[in-house]
Structure 1
Amino acid sequence: MRTKRTIINLLYTLGSSFVLLLLGLVARALFVSNFDITIPGTSTVIEQLFSVFSIAEFGVGSVISYRLYEQIAAKDVDKISKYMSLYKWTYRLIGGAIFVLAALFWFFLPLLIVEADTDWNAVHAIYILQTLSTLSSYFLVTRRLLYTCTQQGYVCTRIDFVFNVLTYLARIYISLNYANNYILYFGITIVFNTLANVVVAWRYRRDFPEVQDVRVSWADFKELGLFRDLRYYLVHRVSNAIYGTSDSLVMTRMRGSASVTYLGNYSNVSSSVTNIGNKILDSFAAAIGNIVYDKTAEADDHQKKVFWSMDLFSYLFGSFVAVAYFCLFQPFITVWLGSKWLLPMSYVFWFCLNEYVGWNHRMLGSYRAVLGHFEEDQWFMVASGVSNLVLSFVLVGPFGLAGVVAATVFAHCLMWFGRAKVVFGRFMRGCGGRYLRLQLIHALTLAADMAVTYWVCSLLGGGWLGVIARAVVVCILPNAMNLVFYGFTSDAEYLRGRALQLWRRIRRKEA
């Protein structure tokens, strides 16, 4: 059942996300072409600011989700109902807290957006719309958690796909016919996001009739031990917020919001790819939660075999993404928007390293999330957030955007080390040395993949045909090299077995 649901999640994800990626590229191109150059940058900065406000969430979703895995495995409907009710009412309180933060920070916007010719009517309108969008999500989004934890995220993916298509089509229409009408452009997103959450809520009542709303109190938080987890996880939330928003906030403060528009063109592409990647790997995350809490006698050997295979899968995915960005980003931006929107290759290099660090330990992060004990790596998270912010301001002067992203890579590695400490201290005991040796080998393999693939791509022409040719090379060459290096190792044994099972099922259906 785990394998079947994982495959279903993957199929829905890949099909819908590819369509949304294409629509998103068209919408972004029209957005930067038909709106004032500061509008996209301003919207990005405000979105990042609300990511900082999300600190008020305290990590409730993450804390409750790893508790839910255990109750779902035990089929304890009463506990599941209580956790979901706690989640719902906590998010309503958080929505109120974020409203207060948004109202207070309204008066500090001039400290963030520094251009002398700033259109403050536009800034304030976008800020209000972002506030409404954020609040609507906190009051409606909670039902999605149970779909994720039961490996039925494809239900939400189907619903989101419909409304995201409508959103992009509406944005394209507005960009073509109502240029610079940012209120209409951002307002339509709120409407469709809200409708998607309403439809998910309707499906939730139908799909989980046994899960009921129950009365909850502060005593329930204490009884279930959530206060302790939330106290420690708050450090993670603060550090993640600082880490995730430093680049845009530092750039708009030091170089202006127009510079963030240039950055946003790259991040728009990477966000679409990240969305696809997250949904692919999230398909495995719930299965990881079930595996970790499997207490059967034969579980230990299986758990270790799955861990090393999932770690290898993370490397294979991360190295492919890094090589693809390194070889395709500049040619693609050139034909998509024009060479005037290019950022330096030094930025692309550090960006690729940061993407590799993130994807390469993505599965490790999933294991870390379901293990709890957030106090054990909290100071690594603090060091990550603080170092990213401080080094970004230090390096932006002499090295520009490349320095900002280099600071992000350093901070990301600190976060990675902290997560590894928890996983190898609580779950994969005694395996830390092997993990370190593998990461060194993976780094050398990545360097070879990037060098060889970039050299081959440099021999190809320009234009859309050149981009397509490079994409074909990127899809084949680094993956073939990784297959030679790792495809027949013991760490790939579990992956080979699952791939063979999938192939046999496909063959049976064809027959």
Structure 2
Amino acid sequence: MRTKRTLLNMAYALGSSLLLLLLGLVTRRLLVDNFGPQITTASQVVSQLFNFFSIAEFGVGSVISYRLYEQIAAKNEEKISKYMSMYKWAYRVVGLVIAGLALIGAAALRWIMPDVPAATAYTVYGLNVVSTLCSYFLITRRLMYTCTQQGYRCTQIDFCCNVLTSLAKIAVSLWFPNYVLYFSVTIFFNVTANLLIARRFRKDFPYVHDVKVTVNDFKDLGIFHDLRYFLVHRLSNTIYGSSDTIVTSRLGGSTQTTFLGNYNTISTSATDLGNKVMDSFAAAIGSIVYDKSAAANDHDKQVFWGMDLFSYLFASFVATAYFCLFQPFMASWMGEKWLLPLGFVLVFCLNEYVGWNHRMLGSYRAVLGHFEDDQWFMVASATVNLALSFILFPLFDITGALIATVVAHCIMWAGRIRVVFRQYMRGGLGHYLGVQALHLVTLAVCMGGSYALCARMPGGWLGLVPRILVVLVVPNALNLAVYGWGKDAAYLRQYAGKVAKKLLKK
């Protein structure tokens, strides 16, 4: 059942995300061309500000979800209902807190976006307030789908609504170029998607019902204890994810922020695609961990090392693809005037590699709890990110802010290593560090060799075809030569064989 649901999640995710990626590229181009850098910058910055305000969530979703995995494995319907009710009420409180933060944050808009007209900034900001609050009051039912590996059911609904959103945005950009209407479209379809999921929830989980919860329920479960530590994680992750855009807007202005946003549009769409693939495994990891009462046994360790190798293979492919394809694609899509330096692309690739390479490790870390174990790593990550961004931006522009992000990301990674190898994979830290050192060497060969071949290819849209072929073949072939015959790869082949048999039977 785990394998089947993982496949379903992955299939729906890949199919929907590919089309949405293409539509996202079209809407971004139209946004920049038809509304200009100032409105584009206002959209990016306000989005990141609300990402920052999301620290008010305190990580309640993550804290309750790792407890929910345990009760789903035990099939305890009473506690499942209680946790879901607690989750709902917690998010209502969070929504009210975010509304308060939004009122306070409005005062900072003119400082963050000095070259964007006040009317534009506050209008886009107000629309985001409405969109964000609607999400917090309607989104809670999605947690049950994620924890039971049925996220594909939400993906079906989201896909339809997101396609309609993109088509409506394209229509507005071309025929009714009004930015208020443009951003209102997103609110309408987001609310519609959440209402449809709420209706389906009653059918899919009839045993989950609202129960009365009190503050004492949260105390008795120790959730306040976990939240106190997880707040540090939440704050650090938010600073990590939002600082580049905000620092660039403040120090570089709307034009440089639009430059960065164009690259982020591609990476965000690609990241969403990759997340859907990786998230398909996340719930299965939660089930594996909580099906056991102690640390990992031999089979679980084999699963861990196999998944870790999969993370590296995925990460090296993504980093190589960005390094070889980002600039020629950007030149064809937006025009050469929107290109950032190759140094920026290299640092960007390193950051993507760090993130994807420890993605499965991060999934293990998320379901293990013990947020106090790496809280100071998270504090250091956030502090270094902000401080280095303001120091390096005047020296290296956007590339400097991104260098700070890479350093902060590595600190975050170190904290996750600490938790997983203390709480679950005891005794494997030395092996993990040795494997990561080898990964860095093979990554350099993959990126350098692929780029050298792609540099010989012609430009334009047609030139992307041979470049894509190089990216598909070279890094995967090199990784196969290095890792293809080890025991970790043997597990992946075995797992892939089981998947293939299930598909053939259908």
The residue that corresponds to 2:194 in the other structure is 197
Contact 2:58–2:230 (Cα < 8 Å) also in 1: yes
TM-score w.r.t. length of structure 2:
0.99
Equivalences for 1:463-502 in 2 at 5 Å?
A: 463-502=460-499
Measured against aligned partners, the alpha-carbon deviations of 1:125-149 in whole angstroms (never above 9, x if no partner) come to 1000000010000000000001000
Q: 2: CA distance between counterparts of 1:449 and 1:364?
A: 22
Matching of residue 147 in structure 1 with residue 145 in structure 2: yes
The residue that corresponds to 1:376 in the other structure is 373
Matching of residue 160 in structure 1 with residue 162 in structure 2: no
Q: 1: CA distance between counterparts of 2:292 and 2:412?
A: 29
Contact 2:344–2:399 (Cα < 8 Å) also in 1: yes
SS in 1 for 2:44: helix
The residue that corresponds to 2:34 in the other structure is 34
The residue that corresponds to 2:233 in the other structure is 236
SS in 2 for 1:271: helix
SS in 1 for 2:36: coil
The residue that corresponds to 2:459 in the other structure is 462
Contact 2:295–2:423 (Cα < 8 Å) also in 1: no
Cα offset, 1:107, TM superposition = 2.1
Q: How much is the aligned-residue C-alpha RMSD, in angstroms? A: 1.1
Letter in 2 for 1:76: N
Letter in 2 for 1:36: G
Contact 2:457–2:467 (Cα < 8 Å) also in 1: yes
Matching of residue 99 in structure 1 with residue 99 in structure 2: yes
Cα offset, 1:468, TM superposition = 1.9
Q: 1: CA distance between counterparts of 2:5 and 2:345?
A: 36
Equivalences for 1:142-291 in 2 at 5 Å?
A: 142-179=140-177, 181-291=178-288
Measured against aligned partners, the alpha-carbon deviations of 1:435-462 in whole angstroms (never above 9, x if no partner) come to 0000000000000000110011111111
Contact 1:323–1:478 (Cα < 8 Å) also in 2: yes
Q: 2: CA distance between counterparts of 1:236 and 1:298?
A: 24
- The match for 1:349 among 346, 349, 360 is 346
SS in 2 for 1:460: coil
Matching of residue 2 in structure 1 with residue 2 in structure 2: yes
Q: 1: CA distance between counterparts of 2:461 and 2:210?
A: 54
The residue that corresponds to 2:447 in the other structure is 450
| Stretches of structure 1 lacking an aligned partner (at least 5 in a row) | none
Contact 1:45–1:257 (Cα < 8 Å) also in 2: no
Letter in 2 for 1:129: L
Q: 1: CA distance between counterparts of 2:425 and 2:296?
A: 13
The residue that corresponds to 2:117 in the other structure is 119
The residue that corresponds to 1:25 in the other structure is 25
Contact 2:81–2:209 (Cα < 8 Å) also in 1: yes
- The match for 1:415 among 412, 415, 436 is 412
Matching of residue 432 in structure 1 with residue 425 in structure 2: no
Q: 2: CA distance between counterparts of 1:299 and 1:393?
A: 43
Measured against aligned partners, the alpha-carbon deviations of 1:414-452 in whole angstroms (never above 9, x if no partner) come to 000000000000000010000000000000000000011
SS in 2 for 1:428: coil
Q: 2: CA distance between counterparts of 1:487 and 1:459?
A: 29
Percent of counterpart pairs with the same letter? Answer: 60
Bigger mean CA offset, 499-508 vs 478-487: 499-508
Letter in 1 for 2:68: L
Letter in 2 for 1:172: I
| Cα separation, partners in 2 of 1:420 and 1:211, compared to 1, 3 Å | same
Measured against aligned partners, the alpha-carbon deviations of 1:242-299 in whole angstroms (never above 9, x if no partner) come to 1111111111111112211110000000000110111110000000001111228997
SS in 2 for 1:256: helix
Letter in 2 for 1:68: L
Measured against aligned partners, the alpha-carbon deviations of 1:354-405 in whole angstroms (never above 9, x if no partner) come to 0000000000000000000100000000000000000000001111111111
Letter in 2 for 1:159: I
Q: 1: CA distance between counterparts of 2:108 and 2:318?
A: 38
Contact 1:41–1:259 (Cα < 8 Å) also in 2: no
Contact 1:66–1:289 (Cα < 8 Å) also in 2: yes
Contact 2:295–2:425 (Cα < 8 Å) also in 1: no
TM-score w.r.t. length of structure 1:
0.98
Matching of residue 359 in structure 1 with residue 356 in structure 2: yes
Letter in 1 for 2:336: S
| Stretches of structure 2 lacking an aligned partner (at least 5 in a row) | none
SS in 2 for 1:142: coil
Bigger mean CA offset, 348-357 vs 288-297: 288-297
